[in-house]
Structure 1
């Protein structure tokens, strides 16, 4: 995805005031290349390093919009749209050729190009849909993600476009002759692009969307179409082809899916319909701030338990890969299970304890279970749970209790068959998240299932079933992966919605208490099929020779 820069607006005489869009690749060309050939004089950089003036001395004006590093990329970009639009227009009026780019030239840069076109030529491009048709005609791989698309719709409806258009007319007034020539040339180019798009797009809008997606897919390296008996098959160049497919999936996830910081929303500001539409249906995590999520009585009820199952490990990493065995095969190390009071977790000692039993551990805490049952708004108020149920998640399959300290870390894994509603009652949790397609590029190891056992003061791993291997994500920490994971900081009274299939690694503050509800996910449809495809690509990569 991305590809070469695309000429969006030709400017005047083909040599001045042109508008280009693309990715960051031209920035790494030390010889100048594209920048020198097209005399790029101004650049808007979104979420990537600014143009290096020593490498590209022609670029005299630069605007950096670090939207990828701020919470809520769409909100952050909306706050800067007027700056970007005025910057581009002023540069073009000065006769400078302009380049708008993000990492891949697909989503963030497309949002800026669309905003500029909507404000600059409102008569020709009356709606975001019309502007998108024009942009796709000039750059087929352009694909603003759903958040940016909604942001542009709101920006137009809310008067943001009108305000920018007025600012551009004020700039035109200072150079009326040059502005008129530029506007006439660009309007003619836009009209021609729209006419060409209309003539080349038979069939439904859905068919046009499919053709656009195919144009994006064709840029993936390592894929070679070959005709066989009037059919087309894809030939993979061994490991390289698989690696290229995985790399493309990684870039797509970064451009289209991952929000660097998981959005935090007050539940009272989010209708059940919007929760279902924007997060459940979109498989997008969100932190819901409950109106009365904290509950001191629930915390007290937890500590009244007398005899519960407690997990124990030497290093705090349960269900994690260990490679210290003398036969060289990795082990998936499960914790030793002990019984005792939950307060044992807080006692100082060389062992790391964690209340983390699953499959319905709430039943081990009778007083807490009664308190949870009394809270009719947990995990969500009834109207939200009905919407959740309408999406195929009728009732919770299990309710679990978690209590531990900073030494306990949940290694990277995914729950393919469960939607997760995770409520923090005390302390704080940090989730590092990657989308369900991540197994396509994350390494996987086939491990022997083993369990920690402590005897005579020494820890050792004992194999459960040496002949049965378990595939597990072989990632020491998601913090070191590319792309960087989304981060969800969940505090008391916060409920994290974690869709099925999302890879997650979990850290916590000392004495953190949480309850989570697992709802059985639908194991059909495009979401499940896409996640399974990603998993199989990862398995093929692991099995293929390097």
Structure 2
């Protein structure tokens, strides 16, 4: 990963596309934020890791196979001495959906600490692990869990930091299976999403689509992975109910949620070497290619007039019974 510093946050960018939608809802004119796909002029390199003994080497086929702490075979070799042995937080689910509605529950993933090399072995079919794996721990997991990679990255996106007038709150590392899907939701962050390898497929809705997007309250629960490798769902009784979107935008149940037919989704594929600017409060559903590697920068949003307009729209939606 020795060239990421000049690749992911390259300043020589051309504007790939601009998507802007202006909606008038309930006599309130709401101009949604602009969603940009920024296309750097470079080609993304393969992911590398740095070894203190042998320099930089690509994460490629395993040089040997040994048992790891999970009881599964684990890659070893000089190319992974530094990064491969580092344990990372991994979300594990039976079907690839973490933080999503399942039945009448909002279910969070089981979380395991696994060496990065073991995750890579599972992705490459050289080892097995129950469920679907996704390195998706947020809260700035890149500097906290993979500090070896910091020298290969800029700490921020310079033009974005200048435009937003602040440094990012978090820098996150993402790696997972194709089956790992992010359910439709929104974040209170300005999001610069950089794909290093593979591709991400985003389905987007502007904030002005809020009246057509349903929310319901769900009892929170967490998957637990048993010793036998099966999953059970355990309620989080101490937590309050969670408001979440029950609708799958890829196969919406329009009989149950007819208002969603009035929403207008934007679809965007972000490939290796491309960066997506996803404004705060935009709804997004995300799929990925198998083994996709990405890094994103989260900048805290400003709670300004735009936020007040969204809160008003949200309140009017609930009061009108559209929710």
TM over 0.5: yes
Query: Who is 2:277 aligned against?
Result: 497
> 1:460: Cα distance to partner?
1.3
Does structure 1 residue 508 correspond to structure 2 residue 288?
Answer: yes
Partner-residue secondary structure (3-state), 2:182: strand
Which of the residues 426, 430, 437 maps onto 2:208? 437
**Paired residue secondary structure (2:49):** helix
Is structure 2 residue 115 aligned with structure 1 residue 365? no
Q: Which has the higher strand share?
A: 2
Tell me the TM-score normalised to structure 1 length. Answer: 0.44
Q: Is residue 219 of structure 2 the alignment partner of residue 470 of structure 1?
A: no
Determine if the alignment matches structure 1 residue 532 to structure 2 residue 311: yes
Q: Distance in 2 between matches of 1:543 and 1:384?
A: 36
- Quote how far apart the aligned CAs of 1:284 are: 1.1
- TM-score (structure 2 length as normaliser): 0.72
Cα distance in structure 1, aligned partners of 2:132 and 2:186: 23
- 1:218-237 paired onto structure 2 within 5 Å: none
Name the counterpart of 1:286.
Answer: 36
1:457-483 deviation per Cα after TM superposition (whole angstroms, max 9, x unaligned): 331111113561111112122564433
Tell me by how many angstroms 1:384 deviates.
4.8
| Structure 1 residues 126-525: aligned runs within 5 Å | 245=26, 283-292=33-42, 294-296=44-46, 299-300=48-49, 304-305=83-84, 306-323=86-103, 330-342=104-116, 343-344=118-119, 345-346=122-123, 347-362=127-142, 363-372=144-153, 375=154, 379-380=156-157, 382-389=158-165, 394-415=166-187, 417-455=188-226, 456-465=228-237, 468-477=240-249, 480=252, 481-482=260-261, 483-525=263-305
Report how far residue 371 of structure 1 moved.
Answer: 1.3
For 1:541 and 1:466, the matched residues in 2 are separated by: 31
Deviation at 1:520, TM superposition (A): 0.6
Which of the pair has the greater relative contact order for Cα pairs under 8 Å at 6+ separation? 2
Query: Within 1, Cα distance between the matches of 2:241 and 2:216?
Result: 9
Q: Distance in 1 between matches of 2:93 and 2:217?
A: 21
Q: From the superposition, tell whether residues 73 and 410 of structure 1 become closer, same or farther in structure 2 (CA, over 3 Å).
A: closer
Runs of at least 5 residues in structure 2 that lack an aligned partner in the other structure: 1-15, 51-58, 60-79, 253-259
Distance between the aligned counterparts of 1:532 and 1:439, measured in 2?
10
Residue 477 of structure 1 aligns to a residue whose secondary structure is coil
What is the CA–CA distance in structure 2 between the aligned matches of 1:535 and 1:310, rounded to whole Å? 33
Change (3 A) 1:318 1:383: closer
Contact 2:21 2:206 in 1 (8 A): no
Report the alpha carbon displacement of residue 399 of structure 1 after superposing the two structures with TM. 0.6
Compared CA separation, residues 530 and 479, structure 1 to 2 (3 A)? farther
Q: Give me the whole-angstrom Cα distance separating, in 1, the residues matched to 2:319 and 2:237.
A: 24
Correspondences of 1:62-141 after superposition (within 5 Å): none
| C-alpha deviation, 1:541, in angstroms | 4.9
Structure 1, unaligned runs of 5 or more: 1-70, 75-143, 147-215, 221-244, 258-282, 324-329
- Distance verdict in 2 for CA 1:542–1:299, change over 3 Å: farther
Mapped to 1, the partners of 2:321 and 2:239 lie a distance apart of 19
1:128 aligns to what? none
Structure (1/2) with the larger helix percentage: 1
